[in-house]
Every structure is written in structure tokens, then in C-alpha cells.
Amino acid sequence: MDRVMAAHINGSLVPLLKEAGALWL
């Protein structure tokens, strides 16, 4: 289950964080 959550986090949160970081820059 942890691997599934990690894959979901890497697949969805990382791009969102990158977009948020781009907005702050």
C-alpha cells in the first residue's frame, strides 16, 4: 500500500508542487 501511495504522490503532488514553485518564482 505504501508503494501505491508513493506512486500516487510522485505522480500527482510533485507536478503540482513544481507548478506552485513556478508561480512563486
The predicted pLDDT at position 6 comes to 82
Residue 11 and residue 2: Cα distance in Å, rounded? 14
pTM of the model: 0.38
pLDDT in tens, the chain (25 residues): 788 888 887 788 888 888 888 877 6
Torsion of CA 17, 18, 20, 22, to 10 degrees: 160
17: which 3 cell numbers?
A: 508542487
> What gap in Å lies between CA 14 and CA 7, rounded to an integer?
10
* CA 20 to each of CA 1, 5, 12: distance values in angstroms, whole numbers, following the listed order: 27, 21, 13
